[in-house]
Amino acid sequence: ILIKPDAYNHIGKIIDALLSEGLFISKLRMAFMDKTLSQHFAQVSCGGNTQVFKKSMQMLAEDVSVGIEIFGENAVGILNALCGPLNPSRAKENSPNSFSALYGSDAVKNAVYCTPDESDTDLVKFFSNTQHSSVLDNCTCCVIKPHCLTDGTAGKIIDMILSNGFEISAMGLFQLKPNDAKEFFEYSWSKFPHYKELLNHMTQGPCLALEV
């Protein structure tokens, strides 16, 4: 699934809905797309409309999008139902609870795009041709711990951050190795009574890092 720039303020809600349906996130990256990649996603989501294609390409190239690889039982069917039709007007009539209906406004700003089948073409193109969108300026690091991804609260945390007026300028899913976790937490947490348990927990599953 690709969360488009126009749905930036709803990233947390969309992730929350995915996790609430029992889906799992295996890759996630916030990134700027170059002209070639923007052209690809504009083409597959424009419905054959030339004007929609041109405007979509411009929008996708100008701001950050979030690409997510998900898995789970019947993931493709669930994801297509959650995303809804590409046209928000049609979505509001036929799939009023879909992302397109809830967060889209027109054929260009339709919030999301999802691969309609099990093909990995879109995933390979996105994750092979983008870099994290970090700016490293006037920011801090927020790490959403592994249990928040397994218990489904990660999206709510992201939504809380955005709803309180903060900007998330980069986001990525990563797996901490034991030595990396020790280096990351040693300075500020080494005297914490449950330091070893913390290190163990942080390496048990993927974390979600945010630049806020």
CATH at residue 95: 3.30.70.141
Q: Does 147 reside within a domain?
A: no
Task: Give the model's pLDDT for residue 201.
Answer: 85
Claim: this prediction has a pTM higher than 0.75: yes
The string of pLDDT tens digits covering residues 64-116 is 999 999 999 999 999 999 999 999 999 999 999 999 999 999 999 999 999 98
Residues 6 or more apart from 61 whose CB is under 8 A from it? 32, 33, 34, 35, 38
Can you give the residue range of the structural domain that contains 105? 2-128
Is residue 31 in a domain?
yes
Instruction: Please report the pLDDT score of residue 200 as a whole number.
Output: 84
Summarize pLDDT for 159-199 with one digit per residue, the tens.
999 999 999 999 999 998 888 888 777 766 667 777 788 88
Question: Is 196 domain-assigned?
Answer: no
Domain count within the chain: 1
| Contact of 31 with 50, CB cutoff 8 Å | no
Q: In this structure, which amino acid lies at residue 27?
A: K
Determine contact, residues 112/63, Cβ cutoff 8 Å: no
Query: Would you state the pLDDT for residue 190?
Result: 64
Residue 173, domain member (yes or no): no
Q: Beta-carbon neighbour count of residue 1 at 10 Å? A: 24
**d(Cα 211, Cα 132) in Å, to the nearest integer?**
10
Residue 165 domain-assigned (yes or no): no
- Does residue 171 belong to any structural domain of this protein? no
pLDDT 10s digits, 11-59: 999 999 999 999 999 999 999 999 999 999 999 988 889 999 999 999 9
Q: Is residue 14 part of a domain?
A: yes
